[in-house]
Chain A
Amino acid sequence: MDQAAPTPKPSPWSLTPSEHEAGPPRLSAFVKEARPASFSLASSRNARLIEGLRRRIHGIERHVPESPRSNRHVPWTVGAADADMCLGPSGLNTQAVHEIKPGSARASATAASMGFALRLAARHLLLLKAAHPDSPPPRILWCISRTSTYETGELYIPGLSAFGLEPASFLIVETVRASEMLWAMEEGLKSGGLALVIGHLTGTAGRIGLTPARRLSLAAEQSGTPCLLLTPEGAPPAAATSTRWRIDTAPSAAHRFDARAPGAGRITVTLERCQHYLSGDPLSFVLEWPHARGAEAHRIPVAAALAHRTVDASQPKRRTG
């Protein structure tokens, strides 16, 4: 701890050496008490320090050995400033389960939520690639039920490329029973050789019990592999998740050349639960995903609010033959 570091004002986040020496239990208590209601990025340096300490405390509390991947400094974020502010400087927890739910029971909303999972996966792979530039990136375990290939469809390579994802990074598990899928996800998390585990639970299987959810969470924590859990709209929230997102379709952006054609895809993202974001109202915003052109693919601008749009005001009168 460098006391000489210039801090604009004494922040509750800075620790004195004496406090540092006081031992894990006190530190833990201190951080818990001092957690502010709304998050402020007063000093990025302090924030980084706090994050390091918090991770250490977490490790001490849970008796988890610090995994080699967890000391990466680039956080896993959504790529939109609003959302990333809520997530805190550490971004999405890479050792936890994140739940993603569609906004409605329609297949299009489910596809949008799966698309959001793909976006997060693409960003996570990018981070891993940056951390280990020499080795090929690890794979993503994509767990689906057989029925979902008929309901929402299966991954389609030509469309995946638009997300900046390569087909080789996907290892797909197709199961019939929910118990098999949860088992496969847990095995994937425990293996430690994967970048990410994504599980899409459908129908009644989406009602994930307390024990399986806790098992997934523990496995993610022990191996340092994050897990995205896609559950149906109606199912109650899964236990032991770090964040919960609700995704729905949103009208697409204007097409650059053709006013009548769908433009870049947009989705409505609502952050319903986040460990670091304690404000009462869920945060909601619209994300836009430009189609992949190299590194640009991983940038997600927050879309401007849409004005009221009429159905066919912009469309010229059609000539009919």
Chain B
Amino acid sequence: MRHSPNAVPADKPLALVESGAHGLRITAVNSRAARDGVPIGTSLADARTVLPELLSRPAEPARDLRSLIKVARWLGRYGPARNRDGLDGAWVDITGVAHLFGGEDKLLIDLIGRLASFGITARAGLASTFAAAHALARFANTGTAFAIAGSGEDRDSLNAEHASPGTERFSFGAERAALATLPIEGLRLGPDTVVLLKRLGLRRIGQLYGVERAALERRFHADRAGKSKARHAGQHAEAVLMRLDQAVGLTPEPLRPLAALPSLSVRRTWGEPLISAEALAGEIAALTDDLCSSLKTQALGVRQICLTLFRADGTLAHVQAGFSGATNDAPHILRLLREKMSSIDAGFGIDMAVLDGHGAERPAAPQALLDTRIQAAQDGATALLIDTLSNRLGTKSLYTLEPHASHLPERAQRRMTASHPHLALPPAPSARRPAFLLAMPEPITVMAEVPEGIPKHFIWRRLRHRIVKGEGPERIAPEWWRGLGATAQDNRTAAAPSNTSASEPVNSQTAPVVSGDALSAAHIRDYYHLEDEAGARFWVFRAGLYQSASAEAPPRWFVHGLFA
């Protein structure tokens, strides 16, 4: 229910409408309207004739879906595996959780009560299978707000049985009994299948128990004879029996949770919501200790942690932190959490916190070196620094450079994450490479001798640089194997001695290049190492060749790097 200025009082009939082919159609009604007999799916005009005081609001399915996902997230309170279920429900796996709330019924009372306090009227179903719980929540006709298949003890024994290896048969008797009286709509079947089953007189799920697949198929076939092919009858029968088997636990049903399940999760609940930052910090420290002590007992560390804070008004706050290596060091984790906790707004108070650890693995063994003590301290300090910096600035802001085997200047190095081990060997030192490479080569205006003389002067960033000394050209051809259309012959040109004298006759240079196609010639670069009067040294290149360029598009010049 939305808290807006034009909210409708609960005692007035209300319908949500959407515009359809035949005018406004009712998609949902509130409890008062339902009591007055407004059916879903009729047009608003029809409903108004029956109930003139019916109020209406436009339906907002996209917003409803967002709200539903929010509720599903909030269900993380009761278990890590949860998600929305269709457009009108949500599920949560509470295996092994019920005892924390004092039993399954108490858990459901807590759940329904909290949702009610947020203004959400909900019904809950609890069973050993997802399908059975789905049916119970929607169709169980009990007086209470929730329905449980069987008793908790049954399920506990079931779980114990489930845990022991080698057992294949479970006793899902409770589910069978609970579902027997429910309508077949509870089986999540397609509308035409439901119609078909009803026409066959199968209205309750219990009526399907014990029906053979072949028998069901035959009845479908008989009913639809002449209208449809036998293949469809088989498909319908298959769907019905599969859904039934899923509901009573004979066929497993994989479920996709909303978020990746954590490797380890610890939680703390407080009777009185925490509002002060100090109290919260203390509790988070204790929570972190909980997580780390259980990690240490298993000799594991985590790569990522996610702290979820449940506010009393049903909203959530998340804090995430990642580590460069698996860790179970509580002060380290806490330090990173504290960095980010400052931005958390406690709102009306925080009554529960869940700390999830993701990506559990064995922490890297400390390296055995002669100077172990210094090395370990240094590595630890650097790892801590990397984590601190990358958690605040983002992992992309923190990097190391690694040499890459490419003769193209901008591809000769790559950015790697800070914790990446260095394996590649650095290239041989070269006097012809600058220490600083511009992220983008900058175009310059050059006065140079055609075709490949050293520039006399150039204008860069509105400053004129008069060249005193120069070296070049060093020809760098594109990597033909990267699909730039260059031919092998051009590559041979690149392999030629790069430091050709500028005073060489032009003819000897034109021959191999002209035979290549124009595109590749435009990608050839001639690099020059230039020094101006002040001693500033630049790495300048010309893209393209004067010989093959047209008058409209002459080769262009760029500054690519600065020598320090």
Chain A interface residues (CB < 8 Å from chain B):
68, 106-109, 111-112, 114-116, 118, 132, 134-136, 138-139, 141, 149-150, 152-164, 166-168, 170-175, 180, 183-184, 187-188, 191-194, 248-252, 255, 258, 260-263, 265-267, 291-293, 297, 309, 311-312, 318-321
Q: Are B428 and A161 in contact (CB under 8 A)?
A: yes
- A110 (CB) vs chain B CBs: closest residue: B562
Q: Are A106 and B412 in contact (CB under 8 A)?
A: no
Per DSSP, are chain A's interface residues mostly helix, strand or loop, or mixed?
mixed
Could you tell me the distance between the alpha carbons of A249 and B537 in the complex, rounded to whole angstroms? 9
A166 to chain B: which residues have CB within 8 Å?
Answer: 426
Chain B interface residues (CB < 8 Å from chain A):
369-371, 374-375, 377-382, 384-386, 388-389, 392-393, 397-403, 409, 412-413, 418, 422, 426-431, 433-440, 449, 451, 453-454, 461, 463, 466, 468-471, 502-507, 529-538, 561-564
Could you tell me the distance between the alpha carbons of A167 and B433 in the complex, rounded to whole angstroms? 15
A203 to chain B, nearest CB (A): 15
30 pairs of residues in contact across A and B, judged by CB atoms under 8 Å:
A108-B538, A111-B435, A135-B370, A135-B371, A138-B378, A139-B382, A150-B438, A154-B436, A154-B439, A156-B409, A157-B412, A158-B433, A162-B430, A167-B402, A167-B403, A167-B422, A171-B385, A193-B377, A194-B385, A249-B534, A251-B468, A251-B531, A255-B471, A258-B471, A260-B454, A260-B470, A297-B429, A311-B466, A311-B468, A320-B503
- A151 (CB) vs chain B CBs: closest residue: B438
Q: Are B401 and A172 in contact (CB under 8 A)?
A: yes
Q: Are B436 and A159 in contact (CB under 8 A)?
A: yes
A138 to chain B: which residues have CB within 8 Å?
Answer: 378, 382
A115 to chain B: which residues have CB within 8 Å?
Answer: 435, 563-564
A114 to chain B: which residues have CB within 8 Å?
Answer: 435-436, 564
A-B pairs, top 3 by smallest CB distance, nearest first, are A115-B564, A193-B381, A108-B536
Selected from A174, A265, A297, the residue in CB contact (under 8 A) with B537 is: A265
Could you tell me the distance between the alpha carbons of A254 and B299 in the complex, rounded to whole angstroms? 63
A173 to chain B: which residues have CB within 8 Å?
Answer: 389, 393, 397-398
Could you tell me the distance between the alpha carbons of A250 and B531 in the complex, rounded to whole angstroms? 10
Could you tell me the distance between the alpha carbons of A62 and B438 in the complex, rounded to whole angstroms? 43
Q: Are A265 and B563 in contact (CB under 8 A)?
A: yes
A189 to chain B, nearest CB (A): 10
A309 to chain B: which residues have CB within 8 Å?
Answer: 468
Could you tell me the distance between the alpha carbons of A135 and B564 in the complex, rounded to whole angstroms? 30
Could you tell me the distance between the alpha carbons of A117 and B442 in the complex, rounded to whole angstroms? 25
B239 to chain A, nearest CB (A): 55
A105 to chain B, nearest CB (A): 10
A152 to chain B, nearest CB (A): 6
Selected from A149, A156, A183, A255, the residue in CB contact (under 8 A) with B435 is: A156
Q: What would 5 more interface pairs be, CB under 8 Å, given A164-B429, A193-B379?
A: A106-B536, A108-B534, A161-B428, A161-B429, A162-B430
Q: Are A111 and B562 in contact (CB under 8 A)?
A: yes
Selected from A139, A162, A184, the residue in CB contact (under 8 A) with B393 is: A184
Q: Are A150 and B385 in contact (CB under 8 A)?
A: no
Selected from B398, B409, B435, B530, the residue in CB contact (under 8 A) with A162 is: B435
Could you tell me the distance between the alpha carbons of A138 and B381 in the complex, rounded to whole angstroms? 10
